[in-house]
Amino acid sequence: MHHAKVIEELSLRNRTFVFKGRDEAGTRLAERLLEYRNEEPLVLAIPSGGTPVGFAVSQRLEASFDCIVSRKIPLPYTRKAGFGAVTWDNIVILNEELIATLRITREQVEEGLAIAKKEQEERTRFLRGGRLIPDAKGRCVILVDDGLASGSTMIAAVTFVRRHEAGRVVVVVPTGSMHSVTRVASYVDELVCLNIREGFSFAVADAYVEWHDLDETEVQNYFDKVQRWAT
């Protein structure tokens, strides 16, 4: 593994509530990505939270926009955090370090994986219908989420597009923990994260003044706005 170039906004290091909301965060991210406009990139957002961010990025770059469904494998005691992720063609990424630290049993791993796979299938069916997975072969792919907490969901998405022979792979997030940014950077060509935060405790929501969990209708509305789907 190599280590990608990481772009951040140093004035935002370790700060909280630095973005008004996801849309504004996406617009600010896009300003750091203008060099990619001529590459006709494929922007893939991870629903739900990554959708508004990715939409704003794709609009500014005049790029093809679609979603890549990657679901976190939830911890036994909360659905808000996870110890891994699963994506389209059953790529499973496990954070073995976290599993060991939290002493998660193999039975709990299997239970969490079953939940994630079910959610992934339902979400894919709802958001994609019968549409084909976008062709990433040889293209610059920009993967977008609203933040990197553990990083597993993003690594699953990166693994997916790499398997489908993407060209340059760029990860773009408004906020992320230092640990996860470092972890994900080893999988990609470039990583843009404006608000990197150090320390043990990290929540994506703490970067935003306005924050709520998007429901599926809200997510679908962003894709309904797109005139041309990624091809």
What kind and span of H or E run contains 99? helix 96-101
Q: Is the pLDDT of residue 1 over 60?
A: no
Torsion of CA 111, 115, 117, 122, to 10 degrees: 160
Closest CA to 153 of 101, 203, 196, 92: 92
Q: Is 108 helix (H, G, I), strand (E, B) or coil?
A: helix
**Cα-only R_g, the chain:** 16
Region 59-87 average pLDDT: 81
- Do the Cβ atoms of 68 and 78 come closer than 8 Å? no
What is the model's pLDDT at position 28?
Answer: 96
Residue-level pLDDT at 59: 93
- In CATH terms, the fold of domain 5-69+135-225 is Rossmann fold (3.40.50)
Least confident of 44-53, 130-139, 194-203: 130-139
Q: Report d(CA 134, CA 166) in Å as an integer.
A: 11
Q: How many residues does the chain have?
A: 231
- Rounded to whole angstroms, the Cα distance separating 31 from 194 reads 11
Domains in the chain: boundaries: 5-69+135-225
The mean pLDDT of 201-208, rounded to a whole number, is 93
Mean pLDDT value across residues 70-80: 75
Among 70, 189, 86, 193, smallest CA distance to 139 is for 189
Confidence at residue 43, expressed as pLDDT on a 0 to 100 scale: 95
pLDDT score, position 130? 64
**For strand 78-87 and strand 190-197, is the pairing parallel, antiparallel, or unpaired?**
unpaired
List, for residues 155-174, the tens digit of each pLDDT value: 888 988 898 899 999 999 99
Token code pair at residue 23: 């849309």
